[in-house]
Amino acid sequence: MTFRITREQAAQQLGISTRTIDRYIKSGKLAYKKIANKILLDEKDIQSMQHDFNALHHNPTTEIVNDGPGHAATSSLATNAKLEKIIDEKIDKFFLVFQEKDRMLEEKNKVIFMLQQRVSELENKIGTMVALPDYNEQKQLATIEKTKLEDKIKQLSSAVRGERTKNSMLLVIFVVAIVFAVFWYLSFVKGWLSF
């Protein structure tokens, strides 16, 4: 096998598009070799395909030469046999083309079916999801509520600290007052006793 013909050259040589060449490669009708990101095709495959295409597009012409009654009958029988053979070949080629088209349509239908299933799955997922604007709004409200609660906690903490400070001051004043009262009492009792 000699791999020398590019996809573009083969398409030009056969008179078809490169996408058709790609389909033939994918279906295995053409042998290929990939060298440095370039696809090269087998020359023999391209030549046989070109021969097949020429046979499809070839319009047989019949030429009747009258060399006599016996020769004309054999000549027309031979041309009829050739015509039938060519017609059978063309019919076979058309059946192959139709089968290829049916297979391609079947593949496309499978892809469409899979895509429809995927769309319905995504629709179900979307139906069960929380809408993004609602989620963002709920997140913002939760953040605002959290900020309010933190402010309230700070206020209560400062109020508790203030109460502790006030209670501590009152305790100190009370202790000082008791100490002062004890000293006063002791000095009063001592002063009373010294009279």
Count the Cβ atoms, other than its own, within 10 Å of residue 187.
10
Count the Cβ atoms, other than its own, within 10 Å of residue 45.
19
pLDDT in tens, 177-189: 999 988 888 887 7
The percentage of residues in the chain with a pLDDT greater than 90, rounded to a whole number, is 20
With b for 16 or more beta-carbon neighbours within 10 A and e for fewer, the 118-127 pattern comes to eeeeeeeeee
The pTM for the full model equals 0.32
pLDDT in tens, 131-168: 666 777 888 898 999 999 999 999 999 999 999 999 99
- Tokens encoding 74: 């054999």
What is the Cα–Cα distance from 125 to 122, expressed in whole angstroms?
5
pLDDT, averaged in runs of 10, over the chain (195 residues): 86 88 87 87 88 68 53 62 80 78 83 84 76 75 91 91 92 93 83 66
Determine the longest span between alpha carbons in the chain, in angstroms: 184
